[in-house]
Amino acid sequence: MDATEARFPRVRASNGHYESFYLKACHPDEPLGVWIRYTVHKKPGEEPAAAVWFTFFERGKGPVAAKESGVVPAAGDGAWIRAGDASGMADGRAFGWAGNAWWELTFESDEEPLFHLPSDWMYRAPLPKTKLCSPLPDARFGGRIGLGDRQISLDGWRGMVGHNWGAEHAERWIWLHWTTADGEWLDVAVGRVIIGGMTTPWVANGAVSLEGERHAIGGRRGSDIREAPGACEFHLAGRGITVSGEVRAPLEDTVGWVYADPGGGEHHSLNCSIADMLVRIEPKERPHRAFEIRGSVAYELGVREHDHGVEMQPFPDP
């Protein structure tokens, strides 16, 4: 399975679809981060349209966010995705602009792709309606971003590159990610979906990598989550491993985006890519590991209703 192959060119005209390629990169020592997302949104019976999303995070100063909508998506000829003529992502490169921001970035990784779902058939089946993977769960970045007259070098920044797609967003979701200078990382998505009119409990899928060894998290194992805008406590189980901790993401450092659902309606996504996390990882029959990650954790909470205290960006999907 190709983690970087765009799915939208093969979607039937009668079907709805969404798809995104995205990256998150953080300064190694300071609470600075960038989150960039290239999306395709397709309502049933309509042509797909693309958008480019950009957020720069700087602790205590509030996010700088911009979005360009209504451009034509394309894939192939060496590009994973193109959103119009001036923005796109390819192997080792991301470029584009939105509002007053622009970027020309490079990225590389020694890691194999992470496929969050536990079985290959789940990527081919109608359910789950949301598919996700991380082509680069731990990436090293270079290049520059521009914010008006300000330019920022990303040389030495670390983060990830992700890819998700599907016919419908989860009813509620959480995304957690961090990576260290030593190449240890965590990349987990946790979701609740509606089946038969009932909302399921939290289901986690992802992995944690310790000393070069990757441990799967989630699947059918129970997840204990207490989530809110700006904070999350979690206990996640895997095969021979448990991961417990808490995230703190100040609301003043959180950006709120409106995500349109392919079949109608919308979700609100609250993202802080410079959050803090205390986490305890307990592999079976091995000493536990504890991490304190400051200013470089991604905490994203997706909800159906607006959460007070976070100003939503007034940019609906095309």
The residue segments making up the domain with residue 145 are 17-305
> Quick one: pLDDT at residue 219?
67
For residue 315, tell me if it sits in a domain: no
Residues 6+ apart with CB under 8 A from 261: 18, 168, 169, 267
pLDDT of residue 305: 67
Q: Is pTM beyond 0.85 here?
A: yes
CA 223 to chain centroid, in Å, comes to 19
pLDDT at 93: 98
| Distance in angstroms (rounded) separating the CA atoms of residues 208 and 24 | 17
Is-contact 18 165, C-beta < 8 A? yes
Of 294, 201, 204, 200, the closest CA to residue 244 belongs to: 204
Q: Which pLDDT does position 189 carry in this prediction?
A: 97
Q: How far is CA 116 from the centre of its chain?
A: 12
pLDDT of residue 311: 55
Residue whose token pair is 């060119």: 9
Q: Domain for residue 7, yes or no? A: no
Say if 313 falls within a structural domain: no
Walk along the chain (318 residues) and give the pLDDT tens digit of each residue.
899 999 999 999 999 999 999 999 999 999 999 999 999 999 999 999 999 999 999 999 999 999 999 999 999 989 999 999 999 999 999 999 999 999 999 999 999 999 999 999 999 998 889 999 999 999 999 999 999 999 999 999 999 999 999 999 999 999 999 999 999 999 999 999 888 888 888 999 999 999 999 999 986 667 899 999 999 999 999 888 999 999 999 999 999 999 989 988 889 999 999 999 999 999 987 889 999 999 999 999 999 865 545 555 544 443
In a domain, 26, yes or no: yes
Position 12, amino acid = R
| pLDDT of res. 155 | 98
**Is position 31 within any domain?**
yes
Phi, psi of 9 (to 5 degrees): -65, -20
CA angle (51 as vertex; 63, 2 as ends), nearest 5 = 105
Contacts of 40 (CB under 8 A, 6+ apart): 6, 8, 17, 18, 19, 20, 48, 49, 50, 73, 81
Residue 48 within any structural domain of the chain: yes
Number of structural domains (the chain) is 1
Give a yes or no: residue 310 inside a domain: no
The C-alpha atoms of residue 292 and residue 280 are separated, in whole angstroms, by 9
